[in-house]
Amino acid sequence: MKKKLFIFSNIIIISIILITVGAGYYKFTSHLIFKDSASHLEEVFSQSNQSLKQLVGKKWACMKDWANYFKDSQSDYKTDEYINHLKENNGFIEFYFLSQEGEYITTDGKTGYINLGENLTKLMIDKENIALKAAFHGQDEFELFGIPCYPGEYKDFKYEAFAISLDNDRLIETLENKVYNEDASTYVIHSDGRVWLDNVGQNKRSVYNFLGMIKEHSDLSEHEIETIREDIDNKKNGVMTFEMDKEKFYLVYQPVNFDDWTLIGLVPQKVVNQNMTKLQILTLFVGIGSVSLIMFTIGFIMVHKSRSRLKRMGTEIKYREKLFTALSDNVDDVFIVIDKDSMKVSYVSENIDTILGISEDDVINDMHIIEKTADSDYDMDIIGKLNDLKTGKRIELEQCCYINHNTNEKVWFTITVLCADVESVIRYIVVMSNRTKEVKAKLELQNALGNAQAANKAKSTFLSNISHDIRTPMNAIIGFSVLAASDIDDQIKVRDYLEKINLSGKHLLSLINDVLDMSMIESGKVHLEENEVCLSDVINDIRTIVSGQIRDKNLSFDINTDGLYDDHVICDKVHLEQVILNILINAIKFTPLGGKVSLSVSQESVSQNNTSVYIFKVKDTGIGMSAEFAKKIFEPFEREQTSTVSGIEGSGLGMAIAKNIIDLMNGTVKVVTESGKGTEFIISLKFKVQKKSPQKPKPKKNLDLKSTQKIFEGKRVLLVEDNELNREIAENILKKFGFCVETANDGSEAVEKVKLSEKDIYDIILMDVHMPVMDGHEATKQIRCLENKTLAYTPIVAMTANAFKEDKLAAEKCGMNGFISKPINIDNLISSLRKVFETQ
């Protein structure tokens, strides 16, 4: 702004200097031209003046001669002749003999009166020559020259003077300007301005009173006219210029030296100064042109430099603008500029569309639209808070939550407003700093804390529950073991105690399995293994599994598969069975003796992508649940009544496991229950329908002890187990099946034993995984690396309490041939060993 002012001031100053210099030059040259022209004009009009003086002087000189002639004239006839002769030679129009009273007589004998006014006395009494304009009624005025003479008589007319009326043209001729011709006007005026004689050019105005004319039509002031009047009165010369009818004239006045006559010359300035003015204008233009050229060059350089600088600045500004745009587009902050006077939005960062789901135009049209997107919990009137904000100050508003108009996502902002004054334009700059990430992180931390606290609580609850549930069978095992020891001799009692110990052990194992399953599910380690499955087979398997329990409780168990049309599907059979069994066993558990349990399977129509929703319904006439509990039925360790109260054993994890597996299968489970009347679980699972009929599995061979013993008879087995008790159990079982069992306490010992068994090679090695000194995996690796390949390829079966899938994979990876989970299930052990021997 200041710079512009500076440039503007400089231009003004330079212009003023130029104009002043130009005007000075013009004035100076004009003065020179005027002086030169004035001198020239005075000379030119002086010639006209001289001619007039000569003519008038000559006339009077002649008239004096004529007077002498009339004095001596012999007769009127002679006089007539003389006058006619004079007329011819002197070019006057009429000759008048004048009487004392102003009466006249001409040579034609015409008489009459010439109103000479004061001139009559001048002529007759003062005996002075006169020259005036006279007129007869109804005729134009004419110039009359009179001269007194000796009193005489002509045709009985007594005269004392005579006069002639001159040919106007001849007088006018004397005023003709030889230099300027018709461009010049020449007047002979009286002292009061009356025009006595004029010689005006063509198309010029008739002037009756010259002073009156310039007073009425020229630009001369009263004072200037008064000066001219005084000069005329004082018979002074003068030259000046004036403007009349939008044209400039030179005015020249010179006394004629007769009576009060003054010769006036008028010539248009453009005529007089034609060449000089051209020269003046040319030099002025050349001067101005040169200066202008220099100025233009300087200006051009300055402008060029200025433009370059401006361009650089412009580029800078554009870069900054780009930077700002990029910043505003890439940050989650929103920037808004509001004009203080109009309270209209002049700028909105483009990212508002992405961040708040409202367009720039909408905000520009109505700032309040932002307020409308604010969460209803917040009252965010930004405009209303600006009133008290003074220039240069800033305010920070409370954090506010907005809802993205398009995504309905919440966005948190901290709003800062700055009242800025840029070149007297006051605007509010609103910076909406996006705090969503921070807020979300905070919320997540809060949730995590909550979850951690809940997990801790759940862990405590879990430990409490598990402690109770573990302690219960453990109590039975320990208690009956003690009783068996004390009653060791009573075989019947001991058998009873051992059965109860076995039962409690199985329960404990089931509990541990459930806990492990739940742990696997929650840790995301469970993966579905989908294969072609025949649902009818699944139902049959389930029926087989639960049949014992059904019988024990004398329950009525119905299976309905009427709605099942496509029983071959792709699914994870194990987990499907687990889900149904968990629910079914639960139903059996909570259904009193003689009650009714049913399982129905149906399917919805097959969709285009060859899938169908299968609905499994498990219904019982059991004790049912309260509505409140039904909501928590799928949460871990939730039981409406503890086993202590209900007398029903359970980990409280079965339903949670079922629910998690259903979720894993993208299915749903719904509970319809009423306390005291029963419960119905409805499971919906979508399976891909398999039209091909799966190959029927080969019928399993039943484990026959005797035949099995034959296979295993004499087989040397190395049992590697660090736990003495487990070693003992396993050793006894193996021996029972005909194995020759050698033991090792850890992997290192096992490796040594294998190395030393070159002569009597082990048929199989049962290897515990977790052992001191050397674990099973390392031991297996070392065995496999033995130089004696026969030894190195000794079948090794893992036997571990780590029963997860990854454990199996780890065993396979290190070269083991089979996998048996602990506690040892004899069937599983035998079938696994048999499988190993059969494959060799």
Binding site for other proteins (CB under 8 A): 100-103, 110-118, 120-121, 124-125, 132-139, 141, 192-195, 207-209, 211-213, 215-216, 341
Cβ-based neighbours of 439, under 8 Å, separated by 6 or more: 399, 401, 412
**Judged by CB, which is closer to other proteins: 200, or 783?**
200
Angle of helix 436-486 relative to helix 491-522, nearest 10 degrees? Answer: 170
Provide, rounded to whole angstroms, the least separation between the CB of residue 419 and other proteins: 14
Cβ contact 161:144 at 8 Å: no
Q: How far apart are the first and last CA of the chain?
A: 99
Closest distance of CB 255 from other proteins, Å = 18
Which residue, 341 or 827, has its beta carbon nearer to other proteins? 341
- The total number of residues shown for the chain amounts to 840
Identity of the residue, 206 or 544, whose beta carbon is nearer to other proteins in the bound complex: 206
Give CA–CA dist 151/36, Å, rounded: 53
Report whether 706 contacts 690 (CB < 8 A): no
Cα separation, 785 vs 779, in Å, equals 10
**Is the CB of 70 or the CB of 210 nearer to other proteins?**
210
We find the least distance from the C-beta atom of residue 158 to other proteins, in angstroms, to be 12
Decide whether 121 or 610 has the Cβ nearer to other proteins.
121
Residues 6+ apart with CB under 8 A from 15: none
Q: Supply the minimum distance, in Å, between the C-beta of residue 424 and other proteins.
A: 8
Min CB(138)–other proteins separation in Å: 5
Give min distance, CB of 228 to other proteins, in A: 11
Q: How far is the CB of 145 from other proteins (least distance, A)?
A: 15
- In the bound state with other proteins, the residue whose beta carbon lies nearer, of 215 and 394, is 215
Alpha-carbon distance 154 to 81, whole Å? Answer: 13
Nearer to other proteins, 134 or 432 (CB): 134
For residue 71, the minimal CB distance to other proteins (Å) is 22
**3-state DSSP call for residue 805?**
helix
**Side-chain half-sphere CA neighbours of 447 within 13 A:** 6
Amino acid letter for position 108: D
Comparison of 120 and 580: residue with beta carbon closer to other proteins: 120
Toward other proteins, which CB reaches closer, 214 or 583?
Answer: 214
Q: In the complex, what is the shortest distance from the CB of residue 52 to other proteins, in angstroms, rounded to a whole number? A: 19
Of the candidates 336, 264, 233, the residue with the CA atom closest to the CA atom of residue 52: 264
Is residue 239 a contact partner of residue 252, using CB atoms and an 8 Å limit?
yes
Q: Exposure of 413 by Cβ count < 10 A (0-12 exposed, 13-18 middle, 19+ buried)?
A: buried
Least gap, CB of 124 to other proteins (angstroms): 6
Burial (0-12, 13-18, 19+ Cβ within 10 Å), 666: exposed
**Minimum distance between the CB of residue 97 and other proteins, rounded to whole angstroms?**
14
Give dist(CA 289, CA 549) in Å, integer.
123
Looking at the Cβ atoms of 99 and 603, the one nearer to other proteins is 99
Complex with other proteins: residue 96 or 335, whichever CB lies closer: 96
Nearer to other proteins, 346 or 475 (CB): 346
CB neighbour list of residue 177: distance below 8 Å, 6 or more residues apart: 44, 45, 48, 183, 184, 186, 199, 265, 267
How far lies 273's CA from each of 27, 37, 199, 204, 242, in Å? 14, 7, 22, 20, 14
Q: In the bound complex, what is the minimum distance in angstroms from residue 51's beta carbon to other proteins?
A: 24
Nearest to 269 by CA among 289, 291, 244, 288: 244
Q: How many CB atoms lie within 10 A of CB 588?
A: 21
* Smallest gap from residue 411 Cβ to other proteins (A): 36
Nearer to other proteins, 137 or 700 (CB): 137
Dist CA 731 CA 715 (whole Å): 13
209 or 436: CB nearest other proteins: 209
The type of residue at 107 is T
Give the nearest distance from C-beta 155 to other proteins in angstroms: 12
Round to whole Å and give the CA distance between 840 and 827.
20
| Pairwise CA distance, residues 352 & 362, whole Å | 10
